[in-house]
Amino acid sequence: MSNVPKISESEWEIMKVIWSQSPLTAEQIVLQLSDKMEWSDQTVRTFINRLLKKKAIGFEKSGRSYLYFPLVSEKECVRAESQSFLKRVFNGAAGIMVTNFLEETDLSQQEIDHLHQILTEKRREKDKGTQA
């Protein structure tokens, strides 16, 4: 279910803008990306069109231009990309992946505490499950 299309690296930039706020005109998308990426507006419009063709986004007419909005949720796409990455690089082993990230990344005290807490809770849940 929920078969998300393959979204390329550049297309992800477009999607992130549209997910963060929609609907948006092409003009607005170009604007939002203008300081982050060095893309001509035609390039951005090409990516928008490819995303339309892939059914990742839709549009409705509004006067002279279109208003674009997502057809696939960010959550779905993040899931798909994560699974793909996990499989390709870590043979699907999420535990190893997370371990690796924890060891390679310099997290802040806050983040460490937060993750620690999540795991503490998860541990308790798991325990309850076993108990029952």
Per-residue contact track with DNA, 43 to 72, x per CB under 7 A?
x-xxx-xx-x--------x-xxxx------
Residues 6+ apart with CB under 8 A from 46: none
Subset of 35-94 contacting a second copy (CB under 8 A): 77-79, 81-82, 84-85, 88-91, 94
Task: Give Cα separations from 90 to 19, 65, 86, 93, 98 (angstroms).
Answer: 28, 44, 5, 5, 10
As measured in angstroms, the least distance from the Cβ of 50 to a second copy is 16
Torsion 13-14-15-17 (CA) sign: positive
Q: Does 16 bind a second copy (CB under 8 A)?
A: yes
Q: Are 23 and 65 in contact (CB under 8 A)?
A: no
DSSP state for residue 56 in the 8-state scheme: S
Torsion 85-71-69-19 (CA) sign: negative
As measured in angstroms, the least distance from the Cβ of 54 to DNA is 7
Q: Catalog residues that contact DNA under the rule CB under 7 A.
A: 6-11, 25-27, 38-40, 42-43, 45-47, 49-50, 52, 61, 63-66
Q: Catalog residues that contact a second copy under the rule CB under 8 A.
A: 9, 12, 16, 77-79, 81-82, 84-85, 88-91, 94-95, 97-105, 107-109, 111-116, 118-120, 122-123, 126-127, 130
